[in-house]
Structure 1
């Protein structure tokens, strides 16, 4: 199977420790983290993805907001610059150990975090990166 992710979730998955907007969102994300850790590939999509799915049932979700679309563009550009591969719609990415190591190193030193500006989760993610990514649910040993 394949996990469908919007570009900014390529960054979010690096620090996911089981916290989220709602219980349904968090439980869904935990299942996705397990799938990614098991070696499922990622298909980059525009707009709401597999992680967003539980939020789409809410009346005031932010998944379609311009700020989130802007975050996607920034994340896509940062990942492309870092890895030298396209990271936009239709791109297939294997989140193997090398991919996650390179992404986490760049996340920790801030080179791919411009898209994280104005995100309410950014302080939590900064702390997780500073801890050496202790407790993250997307394993790096794929």
Structure 2
């Protein structure tokens, strides 16, 4: 089981092997590939820093504790009809994305995210809508 915060559910959709540091990328790639290969793995939704935040580089300001990030987490969970503390399989999260999310939601929900301009999250949502699951990270 993995412990993830709300906005990382969307980050995983757009993940393409880029990140904040080599250690962060290795951790994110491992988690992403595990979910891609076994979507029945359970995810426990947590408030605040999660298993991806554990590898965020210590660069002074701790991004994972930023108030705007907590707001993004809450908004994404609300859109998906999920709550902190809930545990469900990754494949069930993908089903909720298919039911409640469209690619253009990224522009609203993640408007302050520095990764948004790459367009990969919209592509990731479209992959889920097309029934393809998480993209392979090369």
Q: Which category of TM-score, normalised to the shorter sequence, fits these structures?
A: 0.7 to 0.9
1:51-72 deviation per Cα after TM superposition (whole angstroms, max 9, x unaligned): 1111164432200011111111
Structure 1 moving runs of 4+ over 6 Å = none
Pick aligned residue for 1:90 from 85, 88, 91:
85
| Pairing 1:72–2:73 present | yes
1:115 partnered with 2:116: no
Over 3 Å counting, the alpha-carbon distance change for 1:89 and 1:95 in structure 2 is same
Q: Which runs of 5+ in 1 are unaligned?
A: 81-86
TM-score (normalised: structure 2): 0.77
Unaligned runs of 5+ in 2: none
Displacement of 1:5 in angstroms is 0.4
**SS of equivalent residue, structure 1 residue 13:** helix
- Cα contact 1:71–1:116 (8 A) shared by 2: yes
Q: 1:8 to 1:132 in 2, by over 3 A?
A: closer
By percentage of residues, which structure has more helix? 2
